[in-house]
Chain A
Amino acid sequence: MELFDNLALGFGVAFTFQNLLYAFIGCLLGTLIGVLPGVGPVATIAMLLPATYALPPIAALIMLAGIYYGAQYGGSTTAILVNLPGEASSVVTMIDGYQMARKGRAGPALAAAGLGSFFAGCVGTLILAAFAAPLTEVAFKFGPAEYFSLMVLGLIGAVVLASGSLIKAVGMIVLGLLMGLIGTDVNSGVARFSFDIPELTDGVGFIVIAMGVFGYGEIISNLSKPEEEREVFTAKVTGLMPTAQDFKNMAPAVLRGTALGSALGILPGGGALLAAFAAYTIEKKTKLAPGEVPFGQGNIRGVAAPESANNAASQTSFIPLLTLGIPPNAVMALMVGAMTIHNIQPGPQVMTSNPELFWGLIASMWIGNAMLIILNLPLIGIWIKLLSVPYRWLFPAIVLFCAIGVYSTNNNTFDIWMVALFGVIGYGFIKLGMEPAPLLLGFILGPMMEENLRRAMLLSRGDWSVFVTRPLSATLLAMAVLMLIIVTLPSIKSKRQEAFVEE
């Protein structure tokens, strides 16, 4: 079996003492920052990215994957214990998880989230390993026209499946694409939109945008809300293990969540957020067993299903990134940036030219998941302590780490002025109800899209019909158009709004 040979190669790479250590540090740091309320995975990864600069590429990616999982899991912990979503995808976990915690069952809730995530992570890793090779084959058949159409599909998918106003999200994508074009044009060497500022000829850094918009924008918006009474369960969490009945209830929910999450994660733009919402909606529709706690009052299925789904989705959303080089969501867009810093161009060629890195990364994802379980359940006391630290001590530290992180990217204070600018812009986005995630996605894809458009048009001698006469490209574009039509249908439109509104 080729699959197992590949996985064996991967585990061989990942199971060195050094790489295990980096996976561990990554999970630890990721959880540490991810636990903080209001700091999502995007801001967490951006903040911790500088910590990986000095590492060799494999170790750096392994550590980043650890940070990513840690950030995801940290968000759930915050949701269950404080009733504050550490990140968007744990909004639904909050509903039942917090109620469980209030009834003194915080332990089983955390364990359900942890075990469900671990199971989903294992399945997701296997799917990733199984699909990677065949999809890579397909990717090599892609010409520039197909790539361009695929990116259109990816971007449309990202906004269709996201929450909020569709047309405003499309606007954010286009804005992101435009910002991605700032800097020197690779073909002509012309510095575009750089206003004769030498630093801008290299373009705007993606860390600067991620930190300014996701980090500072969020902090300012958090501070503007009146300080609510945060009820933290600082009491010792006892009885971590769920009861036999709990296991019986949550097992099918975990399976359903995993299946749904794995499928949605592959879709462009799907990812963790949508998977969690969909899984919760499905659980709510299934019949309650006799004597089961209703949803919204602390049902363990309401924690297990969305947590499994979002972890499965975060796993499978690596598939489009690693095989096609196209990030399906904002977090993956950040991973592209991170890989580029380490001189790895994500795409089908990574697997063939650099199999150690590719399979090592996949194996380390499984290791990362396992580590989360080992790390989080026993260390839960530490995270609780961290959550009881007042916000007024936390936010100066977060701002400081952002500033240090931004500076250390290029060792240049210019990036600090830029992050200030994007902080103001990011706060403006929040005030105007403009979602920043599509912006980051567009920003990463901007240069790639232009390059592929150029090549496709050069090959077709300026004939735009090339995008619809090549069958693969036409199919991809048709799917994009179909998606747009479906969501604008009135009946679906109201459902879509419903799906993202929770009690």
Chain B
Amino acid sequence: MNIKSQKDFFAGLFYTVTGAAFAYGATSYNVGTGARMGPGYFPLLLGILLAIIGAFVMFKSLTVETQDGDKIGSWAWKPLLFIIAGNVLFGILLGGLPRFGVPAMGLIVAIFGTTLVVSLAGDVFKLKEVLILATILSIGSYGAFVKLLNLQFPVWPTFITG
């Protein structure tokens, strides 16, 4: 048996696994009865439904012909890695990781770090350009979010402001 639609097969697999996981998780809460539903009732119902839908999608992907096999295609690892890494770095630099003793560096450092890392996701990387971009974004964000909108951010590293 071969897979006729790769996209649908893995989508269906994802639904089934996720649905089963939710349904299994729901059984650890009180399910209750129809008239007195416990916290587990609705998620159990939906989890089973999702698992069935997933099975159906998988079944279709194995039986219904598609023109080109509906290939998923290659994953864009580079953009995926750098965009997500840049985002995580923003969180680490902005708020620090108290549990691991990483100090908060504040908004400005976070903007520079994030812009640098995220820019690596593109095809072209020119350090000078990126630094100019980061400077503009820092000034703009400080003006717009901190001064104008009055949102609460740690702006500078904690070891400087104290």
Interface residues of A (CB under 8 A from B): 50-51, 53-54, 165, 167-168, 170-171, 174-175, 177-178, 181, 185, 187-188, 190, 192-193, 216, 219-221, 223-224, 227, 391-393, 395-397, 399-400, 402-404, 407-408, 411-413, 416-417, 419-420, 423-424, 427-428, 431-434, 449-450, 453-454, 457-458, 460-464
Residues of A near B54 (CB, < 8 A) are 171
Query: In this assembly, does B122 line the interface, its C-beta being within 8 Å of a C-beta of chain A?
Result: yes
Give chain A nearest CB distance to B143 CB in angstroms. 13
Residues of B near A464 (CB, < 8 A) are 34
CA distance A193 to B21 in the complex (A): 10
Give chain B nearest CB distance to A336 CB in angstroms. 19
CA distance A491 to B40 in the complex (A): 41
Query: In this assembly, does B155 line the interface, its C-beta being within 8 Å of a C-beta of chain A?
Result: no
Asked if A171 and B57 sit within 8 Å, CB to CB, the answer is yes
Across the interface, A53 reaches (CB within 8 A) one of B15, B114, B151, namely B151
B110-129: which residues lie under 8 A (CB-CB) from chain A?
Answer: 111, 114-115, 118-119, 121-124, 129
Given contacts A192-B39, A192-B43, contact A403 B90 (CB under 8 A): yes
Give chain A nearest CB distance to B62 CB in angstroms. 14
Asked if A188 and B123 sit within 8 Å, CB to CB, the answer is no
CA distance A423 to B47 in the complex (A): 23
Give chain A nearest CB distance to B132 CB in angstroms. 9
Give chain A nearest CB distance to B65 CB in angstroms. 15
The secondary-structure label for the interface of chain A is helix
Asked if A416 and B91 sit within 8 Å, CB to CB, the answer is yes
Asked if A395 and B118 sit within 8 Å, CB to CB, the answer is yes
When C-beta atoms are compared, the residue in chain A nearest to B23 turns out to be: A178
A-B interface pairs (CB < 8 A), number: 192
Asked if A181 and B53 sit within 8 Å, CB to CB, the answer is no
CA distance A433 to B60 in the complex (A): 15
Residues of A near B56 (CB, < 8 A) are 167
Asked if A51 and B35 sit within 8 Å, CB to CB, the answer is no
Residues of B near A167 (CB, < 8 A) are 53, 56-57, 60
Residues of A near B26 (CB, < 8 A) are 192
Residues of A near B91 (CB, < 8 A) are 403, 407, 413, 416-417
Give chain B nearest CB distance to A418 CB in angstroms. 10
Query: In this assembly, does B1 line the interface, its C-beta being within 8 Å of a C-beta of chain A?
Result: no
CA distance A223 to B72 in the complex (A): 16
Across the interface, A458 reaches (CB within 8 A) one of B35, B88, B119, namely B35
> Can you list 5 residue pairs at the A/B interface with Cβ under 8 Å?
A190-B30, A397-B133, A404-B141, A432-B10, A454-B37
Residues of A near B95 (CB, < 8 A) are 407, 412-413
Query: In this assembly, does B109 line the interface, its C-beta being within 8 Å of a C-beta of chain A?
Result: no
Give chain B nearest CB distance to A408 CB in angstroms. 5
B127-152: which residues lie under 8 A (CB-CB) from chain A?
Answer: 129-130, 133, 137, 141, 145, 149-152
Across the interface, B123 reaches (CB within 8 A) one of A53, A220, A392, A463, namely A392
Asked if A433 and B11 sit within 8 Å, CB to CB, the answer is yes
8 closest A-B pairs by beta carbon, nearest first, are A224-B76, A462-B35, A416-B91, A462-B34, A223-B79, A413-B95, A185-B39, A413-B91
Give chain A nearest CB distance to B78 CB in angstroms. 8
List 14 additional A-B contacts (Cβ < 8 Å) besides A170-B53, A408-B145. A53-B151, A168-B57, A174-B46, A178-B50, A181-B43, A188-B39, A220-B80, A227-B123, A397-B137, A399-B87, A420-B88, A457-B35, A461-B35, A462-B34
Residues of B near A427 (CB, < 8 A) are 76, 80
Give chain B nearest CB distance to A233 CB in angstroms. 23
When C-beta atoms are compared, the residue in chain A nearest to B134 turns out to be: A396
Bitwise, B69-98 to A at CB < 8 A (1) or not (0) is 010110110111001101110111011000
Across the interface, B79 reaches (CB within 8 A) one of A174, A181, A187, A224, namely A224
Asked if B7 and A400 sit within 8 Å, CB to CB, the answer is no
Give chain B nearest CB distance to A456 CB in angstroms. 10
Across the interface, A50 reaches (CB within 8 A) one of B36, B84, B149, namely B149
Given contacts A396-B114, A420-B87, contact A178 B22 (CB under 8 A): yes
Given contacts A395-B121, A399-B87, contact A165 B76 (CB under 8 A): no
CA distance A188 to B151 in the complex (A): 35
Asked if A216 and B87 sit within 8 Å, CB to CB, the answer is yes
Residues of A near B118 (CB, < 8 A) are 395-396, 399-400
Give chain A nearest CB distance to B126 CB in angstroms. 9
CA distance A461 to B76 in the complex (A): 53
When C-beta atoms are compared, the residue in chain A nearest to B97 turns out to be: A413
* Max chain B C-beta neighbours (<10 A), residue from A174, A432, A462: A174
Query: In this assembly, does B19 line the interface, its C-beta being within 8 Å of a C-beta of chain A?
Result: yes
Residues of A near B149 (CB, < 8 A) are 50-51, 53-54
CA distance A34 to B112 in the complex (A): 25
Asked if B57 and A400 sit within 8 Å, CB to CB, the answer is no
